[in-house]
Amino acid sequence: MILITGANRGIGAALLAGYRAAGSPAQGTARHPAGDLLPLDVTAPASLAALARHLGGAPVSLLVCNAGTYPDRGERLDDGYAPALWAEGFATNVTGVFLTVQALLPNLRAAAGARIAIISSQMGSTSRAPGGSYIYRASKAAALNLGRNLATDLAREGISVGIYHPGWVRTDMGGAGAEISPDEAARGLIARFAALSPATTGCFETWDGRPHPF
């Protein structure tokens, strides 16, 4: 099974549709699910435990940690970035990723050669520092660091971890003026996930296959 968090819209929804169109067994989650999406709030341990119970021992061959938030859009350095926004950003973009992986480790271990894909962003690259969006940038940098360390610890179990910049995508988060559509991003990311292996674990790549500077 392929499991995608945050699959109710944007990139997550496009990934889910792409896998299903190809005939792959894929399931999505959402905080407020509709249709056949499973309920999941990645910031709530009880919600993660409920998802794990629902899945039982079902093998998860690919876990896509896509759920994310951008709470500090438009904040000003002089008087913005309230502590509550920092807590929200890190709870979803960092802690939520870790707790999701932790909760589903038995399912990943049940699948031979399982893979974990973490959707980060070029905004998390420490070599690119154009300023602003401090919470989002810091949380995506932390997600990148988290993925790199998970890759090290899970390599011995044959579980590969990749971290990805999905492109500047026309979603609620990316805005109408972004460069690519969710479907374009999804097609590229699906190819990247398929190429993820023990030889490439810990990679940070763009949606179209270019290594991204850390």
Q: How far apart are CA 30 and CA 10, in angstroms?
A: 12
Q: What is residue 212's predicted lDDT score, i.e. its pLDDT? A: 83
Q: What are phi and psi of 25, to 5 degrees?
A: -75, 105
Using the structure block, give the residue that is written with the tokens 């790199």. 148
Residues acting as catalytic residues: 136
Band of pLDDT at residue 171, cut at 50, 70 and 90: low
For residue range 18-35, what is the model confidence (pLDDT) as tens digits?
A: 999 999 999 999 999 999
What is the span of the domain harbouring residue 120?
A: 2-206
Q: Is the pLDDT of residue 125 over 90?
A: no
Query: CATH code at 29?
Result: 3.40.50.720
- Note whether residue 212 is domain-resident: no
Q: Would the pTM of this model clear 0.75, i.e. be above it?
A: yes
- Note whether residue 211 is domain-resident: no
Could you tell me where the beta strands, DSSP code E, fall in 25-140?
26-30, 38-39, 62-65, 115-119
- Note whether residue 29 is domain-resident: yes
Rounded average pLDDT over 78-93: 97
- Note whether residue 213 is domain-resident: no
- Note whether residue 49 is domain-resident: yes
Rounded average pLDDT over 111-139: 91
- Note whether residue 214 is domain-resident: no
β-bridge partners, 117 = 64, 162
- Note whether residue 163 is domain-resident: yes
* 28's tokens: 């999505």
Q: How far is CA 12 from CA 116, 169, 182, 207, 213, in A?
A: 14, 12, 8, 14, 24
Q: Is the pLDDT of residue 180 over 80?
A: no
Q: What is residue 53's predicted lDDT score, i.e. its pLDDT? A: 97
Q: How many domains are contained in the chain?
A: 1
- Note whether residue 62 is domain-resident: yes
Q: Which residues contact 130 (CB under 8 A, 6 or more apart)?
A: none
Q: What is residue 127's predicted lDDT score, i.e. its pLDDT? A: 83
